[in-house]
């Protein structure tokens, strides 16, 4: 699979290590005997070499959070029967409690890398930097789209709240920064001023809906220096990107998720957004046997999002069919949370809010839930409540709980 353009560069900001063809060859030799590559994926050149080796050998690779224990997940999916089209396996939620995987074909991975590169106009002169984990679909798509066009990807691990990150942006003359909504909140706190980083031409946003006042704010900051801001929409199930809002239409289509990526189309069926395109997954996997399955979806993805299209095809997302929260860009099924903990769960802005009527230690419960989700504890808010509000039918009154936030 030709994801790696010969001119592409991958460099580690902290160590200066540069990815070489010899590193990929060596990694390929190490994994040659494995039918599936289970790959803990820190943002290092070694991990990227191993990932690219797996793609080159056409072995399915499952990317994992290097900070979590995946013994049970690996045991669950160990098999030597895998479908020949299968290239990439990603977890759906980042949640350690939910072992469901997304199965992406080689064709879908390549197609989406090209769609993103075309939508953003990525060229060999571009320099991206890791702002998100590479085992997370948005972070991975930044890597894919830049490698495909022969651009440079800088691997950085301290993150945007540290001086080392911004020093690397300057030193490597980074041109493009990708952030999820919680990071835009951080950037506002940092009073991000793009004129201090003149190489930066492009901001992208995905991983959940960004408040329109922040979209306007950051678009204006980029506009002031002749740069651009792209709002995008996607799901891991689409490899992951489905829509992009062109910067020229950002103001008059504020709040839109954008237009379908090149080669893709949207329809709205019974209120649900349905995407058709070459980047749609083969299907989910819930057992090792599923890894031998072919394409179950034929390029049609029912997103589970509710929305509408305007007369020019701009997509507007209005909600979710299932009860979901999105925390730091990661989807969390609220019903799953309630099955594992004695709480009522509702979604906030980039936060999971849970209500407990028990005597539990609130802080300990917060830590337990965050650990189970594999998310940061600041994404979980726990409140005690004397009794849960109920609807006449005896079900939890979630509207009342949301209103109390």
Q: Site residues (CB under 8 A) for another protein? A: 67, 158-163, 165-166, 182-183, 185-186, 189-191, 328, 363, 366-367, 376-379
Smaller CB separation from another protein, 196 or 308: 196
CB of residue 131 to another protein, shortest distance in Å: 9
**Shortest distance, position 377 Cβ to another protein, whole Å:** 5
Shortest reach from residue 161's CB to another protein, in Å: 4
Could you tell me if 361 and 388 are in contact, meaning their C-beta atoms sit under 8 angstroms apart? Answer: no
Secondary structure of residue 274 in the 3-state scheme: strand
How far lies 398's CA from each of 158, 305, 352, in Å? 38, 19, 13
| Nearest alpha-carbon partner for 140 in 75, 218, 62 | 62
Residue 166 or 230 with smaller CB distance to another protein: 166
Q: How many CB atoms neighbour CB 96 within 10 A?
A: 18
Q: At what angle are helices 106-120 and 137-148 packed, to 10 degrees?
A: 80
CB of 378 to another protein, least distance (A): 5
Among residues 156 and 237, whose Cβ is nearest to another protein? 156
314, 326 contact by CB (below 8 A): no
**Residue 388 DSSP class:** -
Cα 131 to its chain centre, rounded Å, is: 11
Between residues 251 and 364, which has the closer beta carbon with respect to another protein?
364
Q: Which residue do the tokens 């103001």 mark?
A: 251
C-alpha torsion angle, residues 248, 252, 254, 257 (rounded to 10): -60
Closest separation in Å from C-beta 182 to another protein: 7
Contacts of 248 (CB under 8 A, 6+ apart): none
Length, in residues, of the chain: 405
Our measurement of the distance from residue 361's CA atom to the centroid of its chain's CA atoms, rounded to an integer in Å, reads 32
Taking the least distance from each CB to another protein, the nearer of 176 and 375 is 375
Closest CB to another protein among 185 and 223?
185
- Minimum CB separation of residue 158 from another protein in Å reads 7
Nearest distance from C-beta of residue 325 to another protein, angstroms: 16
Least Å distance between CB 162 and another protein? 6
Nearest to another protein of 185, 295 (CB atom)? 185
Is the Cβ of residue 185 or residue 338 nearer to another protein in the bound state? 185
Give the count of beta carbons closer than 10 Å to the beta carbon of residue 1: 14
Residues 6 or more apart whose Cβ sits within 8 Å of residue 360: 342
Pairing of strands 330-333, 101-105: unpaired
Q: Kindly tell me which of 322 and 363 has the beta carbon lying closer to another protein.
A: 363
Residue with tokens 């189970």: 372
The span from the CA of 62 to the CA of 43, in Å, is 15
Closest approach, Cβ 13 to another protein, in A, equals: 13
């Amino acid at each position: 699979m030709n994801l790696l353009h010969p001119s592409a560069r991958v460099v580690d900001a902290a160590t200066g290590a540069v990815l070489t063809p010899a590193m990929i060859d060596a990694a390929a030799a190490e994994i040659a005997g494995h039918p599936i590559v289970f790959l803990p994926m820190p943002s290092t050149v070694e991990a990227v070499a191993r990932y690219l080796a797996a793609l080159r050998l056409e072995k399915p690779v499952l990317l994992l959070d290097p900070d979590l224990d995946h013994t049970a997940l690996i045991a669950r999916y160990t098999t030597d029967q895998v479908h020949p089209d299968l290239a990439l396996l990603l977890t759906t939620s980042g949640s350690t409690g939910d072992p469901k995987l997304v199965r992406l074909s080689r064709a879908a991975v390549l197609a989406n890398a090209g769609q993103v590169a075309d939508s953003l106009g990525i060229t060999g002169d571009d320099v991206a930097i890791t702002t998100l984990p590479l085992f997370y679909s948005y972070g991975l798509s930044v890597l894919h789209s830049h490698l495909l066009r022969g651009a440079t990807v800088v691997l950085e691990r301290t993150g945007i709240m540290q001086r080392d990150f911004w020093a690397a942006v300057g030193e490597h003359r980074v041109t493009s920064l990708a952030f999820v909504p919680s990071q835009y909140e951080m950037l506002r706190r940092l009073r991000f001023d793009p004129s201090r980083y003149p190489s930066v031409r492009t901001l992208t946003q995905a991983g959940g809906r960004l408040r329109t006042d922040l979209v306007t704010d950051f678009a204006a900051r980029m506009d002031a220096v002749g740069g651009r801001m792209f709002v995008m929409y996607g799901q891991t199930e689409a490899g992951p990107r489905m829509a992009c809002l062109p910067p020229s239409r950002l103001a008059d289509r504020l709040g839109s998720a954008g237009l379908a990526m090149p080669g893709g189309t949207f329809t709205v069926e019974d209120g649900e957004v349905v995407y058709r395109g070459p980047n749609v997954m083969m299907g989910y996997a819930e057992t090792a046997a599923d890894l031998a399955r072919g394409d179950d979806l034929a390029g049609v993805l029912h997103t589970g999002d509710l929305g509408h299209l305007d007369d020019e095809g701009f997509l507007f997302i209005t909600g979710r069919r299932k009860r979901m929260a999105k925390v730091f860009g990661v989807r969390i099924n609220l019903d799953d949370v309630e099955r594992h903990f004695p709480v009522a769960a509702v979604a906030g802005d980039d936060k999971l809010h849970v209500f407990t009527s028990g005597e539990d230690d609130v802080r300990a419960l917060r830590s337990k839930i965050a650990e189970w989700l594999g998310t940061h504890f600041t994404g979980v808010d726990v409140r005690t409540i004397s009794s849960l509000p109920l609807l006449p039918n005896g079900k939890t009154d979630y509207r009342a709980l949301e209103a109390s936030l």
